Amino acid sequence: MKKDIIKKLKDFELKEEQVEVIEDMSEKYKDKSEEDIFVEIIQLNAQMEEELTFEEYERIFEKLDSIRHLLSEEQNTKLDRLLDALDKK
């Protein structure tokens, strides 16, 4: 499994600013519970719905769907739970 993920990640390139965003998010959320993060994501979704165009908003969910193959079964289950809560499944 680990080898499969590493192989898939070799084709996935991140820009420097994307790495910085990921690092910042990792630091911000490292001490929060899964439920706390879940609530924050729901709040962020409401904000995005207001601020983004429909196309921009939908593109985000398309990107989430496009990385499913990189996720474990447990991560996919959590993503499904989140998408259900956002009514995006």
Count how many domains the chain has. Answer: 1
- Residue-range definition of the domain harbouring residue 61: 2-85
Whole-model pTM: value is 0.59
Q: CB-based contacts of 86: which residues, under 8 Å, 6+ apart? A: 41, 42, 45
Task: Give the CA dihedral 13, 17, 23, 28, nearest 10 degrees.
Answer: -140
Is residue 89 predicted with pLDDT exceeding 60?
A: no
What pLDDT does residue 12 have? 64
Q: What is the mean pLDDT of residues 52-78?
A: 88
**Confidence label for 73 from pLDDT (cuts 50, 70 and 90):** very high
Q: Which of 37, 43, 38, 82 is nearest to 61 (CA)?
A: 82
What pLDDT does residue 11 have? 64
| Tally of CB atoms within 10 A around 86 | 16
What pLDDT does residue 9 have? 63
Nearest 5°: CA angle at 40, between 87 and 58?
40
